Amino acid sequence: MKLNTAALRYLTSEDWRVLAAVEQGSKNHEVVPTPLITQIAGLRGGSGVHKCISSLAKVGLIAKVKNAKWISSDDGYRLTYGGLDYLALNTHRRSNTLYSLGNQIGVGKESDIYITASSTGRQQVLKLHRLGRISFRSVKANRDYLRNRSTGSWLYLSRLAAQKEFAVMKVLWREGFAVPEPIAWSRHTVVMEFVDAFPLRMVESVPVDKVGGLYAELMDVIVRLAQRGLIHGDFNEFNILIKEEEQPSTASTSSTNDSASATPNTNITLRPILIDFPQTISTSHANAAMYFDRDVACIKRYFERRFKYTSDEEGPFFRDAVKGYEKLTREERLDVEVEASGFSRKMGRELERFVEPKLPGGNEHGRGEEGDGGEDSEDEEDEVEEVDTGLREDGEQAEDPQVDDPKLAEEVGGLSLGGGDDLAVKPVGAADFGLMPIELDHDPDVVSEKVHAKKKAAGWAI
């Protein structure tokens, strides 16, 4: 769903009131009936409301739903992502946060990224969260998403994700972490500082003398976040920007007349900047250690694969990173402050339950999935059953309680397999058990079509 602002300048004040009325009604209604839109908008005359509804529906800001069984009227309307985009852009415009909207610079499974500018000409980034577009469709189908509610949920969760990201970025920026400066938040959008840098995944090579320093700095960021009570949850090459900064230095060279002259040299340093925070969790989370270790392993694996760099030191480890957390005051714990900044614990539970921290294989930039990993892989490892070898700890054969006749068991155990050292097990097929394929008198597809026709005639076929 691409952001199209062509109709933004042509919307009247009545159109904005009707669009806001649909958003207000969507909080309690999956499909907002037309009489309710008229009541919330508060416009004089029903014809004016219907005209605004028609104009908004033509440009795709609202969608009409006919003959919905859960509304008493004949039809109703629901808010689309396009309508939510317009409402958020209008809020930023009225607050003088955005002045112009540029090209799209990033697209992924969960968000769209646009370049924007303020009234002073400062370049900014507009991030629009779009949960439910691709990556979370199976989540909605397989989980009890919003319990008794089923629609409007993606818009609601996109709003929660944007609110959480803005709250986390705000406290991290204040504490001096390398993150883009957060500027504003409205609905499912976040406006932040534009950073002229490249994602780590686009960096082909790093000088040999700088690889170790970059690796150590990334691990230090993970540890520093954990020391303050936060875990990123998706710390990988797609969510790390590498910015080249020039640090001028002077090298003195002596001339023939012993006069020193200073020649400037440029020393380029690589500065990592962290982005994408909707999946950030607290160190008090039940699976905090697993997510911490996964972030560390993701960086180690990428540096080994891309830069052929392997650290000699193990870790860092979660238990070492959170040792001093209990000694911090309430003001120094960033996870507590994020909760106090407006993103409540209830909101965090709803977002965390249905949109868990993403696995290393997918993110908003649209990378391919590298496997399930995470909790699923650990659950599979826990399900591996121990094989009973029949040996006691002293190495002797344990007695089988299911053997009724010990002498018969001893005679059977002494029988030779007749194959020497070749103990290969022959594969057993279906024919060994007398299982033969069933020959049908009719084509299965023909029989299926006849059965479906009978069901359709009976009136209960799907």
Residue 90: inside a domain, yes or no?
no
Query: How many whole angstroms separate alpha carbon 132 and alpha carbon 160?
Result: 13
pLDDT of residue 441 exceeding 70, the answer is no
Query: How many whole angstroms separate alpha carbon 308 and alpha carbon 148?
Result: 51
Per-residue pLDDT of 316-356, as tens digits, reads 999 999 998 888 888 899 988 887 655 566 666 666 665 55
Q: Which DSSP symbol is given to 20?
A: H
pLDDT of residue 133 exceeding 80, the answer is no
Residue 243, H or E segment = strand 240-254
Ordered strands of the 182-186 beta sheet: 100-107, 111-117, 123-129, 189-193, 182-186
Residue 349: inside a domain, yes or no?
yes
Active site residues: 234
Q: Note down the domain range covering 236.
A: 197-249+266-367
Q: What is the CATH number of the domain that holds 63?
A: 1.10.10.10
Residue 227: inside a domain, yes or no?
yes
- Same domain, residue pair 79 and 213: no
Reference 237, options 321, 127, 361; nearest CA is: 361
Predicted confidence band of residue 268 (pLDDT cuts 50, 70, 90): confident
Predicted confidence band of residue 131 (pLDDT cuts 50, 70, 90): confident
Residue 208, H or E segment = helix 208-227
Dihedral sign for Cα atoms in the order 7, 11, 15, 19: positive
Predicted confidence band of residue 267 (pLDDT cuts 50, 70, 90): confident
Q: Where are the alpha helices (DSSP H) in 109-175?
A: 137-142, 153-174
Residue 434: inside a domain, yes or no?
no
The mean per-residue pLDDT over the stretch 230-253 comes to 82
Residue 393: inside a domain, yes or no?
no
- Same domain, residue pair 201 and 347: yes
Predicted confidence band of residue 124 (pLDDT cuts 50, 70, 90): very high
The mean per-residue pLDDT over the stretch 361-370 comes to 41
Residue 220: inside a domain, yes or no?
yes
Asked whether the whole model's pTM tops 0.85, one would answer no
Residue 100: inside a domain, yes or no?
no
Mean pLDDT is lowest, of 270-274, 279-283, 302-306, 367-371, for 367-371
Residue 287: inside a domain, yes or no?
yes
Q: Where among 303, 337, 367 does a domain terminate?
A: 367
Per-residue pLDDT of 177-227, as tens digits, reads 999 999 999 999 999 999 999 999 999 999 999 999 999 999 999 999 999
Q: Where among 85, 109, 137 does a domain terminate?
A: 85
The mean per-residue pLDDT over the stretch 76-84 comes to 93
Predicted confidence band of residue 7 (pLDDT cuts 50, 70, 90): very high
- Report the domain count for the chain: 2
Q: State the pairing for strand pair 189-193/260-274.
A: unpaired
Reference 237, options 207, 275, 180, 281; nearest CA is: 275
pLDDT given at position 151: 45
Q: What is the CATH number of the domain that holds 212?
A: 1.10.510.10
The mean per-residue pLDDT over the stretch 410-434 comes to 50
More confident site: 460 or 234: 234
Q: Where among 324, 351, 367 does a domain terminate?
A: 367
Residue partners of 206: CB distance under 8 A and separation at least 6: 214, 270, 307
- Same domain, residue pair 221 and 361: yes
Q: Average model confidence (pLDDT) for the chain?
A: 77
